[in-house]
Amino acid sequence: MKFDICVVGLGYIGLPTASIFAARGKRVYGLEVNPRVVATINGGDIHIVEPDLDVLVRAAVQSGNLVAGTIPVEAETFIIAVPTPFQHASGDPVPDLSYVESASRSIAGKVAPSSLVILESTSPVGTTEKVKEWVDGERARLGLPATPGAHYVHCPERILPGQMLKEIVTNDRLCGGLTPAAAERARDLYRVFCNGEIHTTDARTAEMVKLTENSSRDVQIAFANELSLICDRLGISVWEVIRLANRHPRVKILQPGPGVGGHCIAVDPWFIVHSAPDLAQLIRTARQVNDQKPAWVVDRVKGLASRLKEPVVACLGLAFKADVDDLRESPSVQIAEALAHLPGVSLLVDEPNVNELPVPLRKANVRKVAAAEAIAGADVVVLLVNHRQYLSLDRDLLRDKVVIDTRGIWS
């Protein structure tokens, strides 16, 4: 059976993409290396937290339009949606494209002369060209003929965890092809579900646009985070400063936090820095400001806890943003792990969107408890994520507690 679409990687981007195409009548095959994820999806269930995604996946599977598996299949279109993390080197972090390369080589034997190959993964400039090189190289290694007519496109996602199913439909889309014909073909495909405008360009521009979007956010957050450090030293409420400064008609300062996490904003700026390290001075500095914020939070907790005998610290939230289960690059996890190893400190952690704590915290014998229990047993309460459960928390629980509110929801 030849499928309309093969989505490589069924994670936070691949699964919503696969399921919405299937919901619009496309025959979709999800290629996934994790057998447990394959079994979960084929059972009509999901392995990530995202509002209403379970309903969409269940309907897509029951209709027969969505099937998951671990073996590559033939398809008219291949969509690569795998992670693009970075590696920590001696200097600045460098992009890790091993997942994209592995995905490209895995489908190479199924790519036909008329295939459309789409890279959705956010990637450094030039990666779409590398996908073509990896596919062509793998086909040559397998003794298969070249496919000069295949189309290669970069179509970065622009969706926010917690609002994926809404934004995947309503947000504008970008299709950057190695050729104009490739971009147009991808545009026609995404018209199946995308109600936003679909813009076509070349692949390198599309890659740079996505990196620019996330780097812009990172720079703006860095300003807010740096401002929070200065205000703390001067004994001023940063929340009040930002609230009043934003009354200016041309000022819109973002909110500070314990750092910046997730697979996009915390990663993508390094891709730009790597491509032009001598020029990306502001982008590098912003990334460093945000990367250093978790250590500042830890130092504040240490300073307050040192005044207490055998202090108990409660950390509320581990996800990189509110109301999701995504712990990737989360500053909250980094903070909790550092606190777990402070001598004489006992740590309680609540993260309502995951069933168990990350391995380093479990190895440190950190207890996962509900928020109210964590607060009741703690001397110091550290709010790290503004989950909706914490917004409505009874403030009387915080009475007589030392509180560090990194999100400003109780300030």
Domain range list for the chain: 3-196, 237-405
Cα distance between residue 304 and residue 288, in whole Å? 25
Q: How far, in whole angstroms, is CA 97 from its chain's centroid? A: 16
- Residue found under tokens 């073909």: 185
Contact criterion met (CB below 8 Å) for 294 and 300 = no
pLDDT in tens, 152-184: 999 999 888 888 999 999 999 999 999 999 999
Mean pLDDT score of the chain: 95
**CATH architecture, domain defined by 3-196:** 3-Layer(aba) Sandwich (3.40)
CATH architecture assigned to 237-405 = 3-Layer(aba) Sandwich (3.40)
| Alpha carbons 107 and 78: distance in angstroms, whole number | 8
| pTM for this predicted structure | 0.91
Residue 90's pLDDT is: 72
Catalytically annotated residues: 210, 264
CA-closest candidate to residue 128, choices 93, 86, 175, 88? 175
The angle at the Cα of 98, spanning 93 to 101, to the nearest 5 degrees, equals 135
Residue 208: predicted pLDDT: 98
pLDDT at 159 (0 to 100): 86
What pLDDT does 225 receive?
Answer: 98
Q: pLDDT tens digit string along 227-279?
A: 999 999 999 999 999 999 999 999 999 999 999 998 889 999 999 999 999 99
User: What pLDDT is stored for residue 295 in this prediction?
Assistant: 98
Report the distance separating Cα 318 and Cα 340, nearest Å: 13
Q: What was the pLDDT predicted at 129?
A: 98
Sign, Cα dihedral of 311, 316, 320, 324: positive
CB 327 within 8 A of CB 354: yes
Same fold yes or no, 3-196 and 237-405: yes
Sign of CA dihedral 199, 203, 204, 209: positive
Give mean pLDDT in consecutive 10-residue pieces for the chain, a chain of 411 residues.
94 96 98 97 93 95 98 98 86 92 98 97 97 98 95 93 91 97 98 97 98 97 98 97 98 97 90 96 97 97 91 96 90 97 94 94 94 96 96 92 95 75
402 sits in which H/E element: strand 402-405
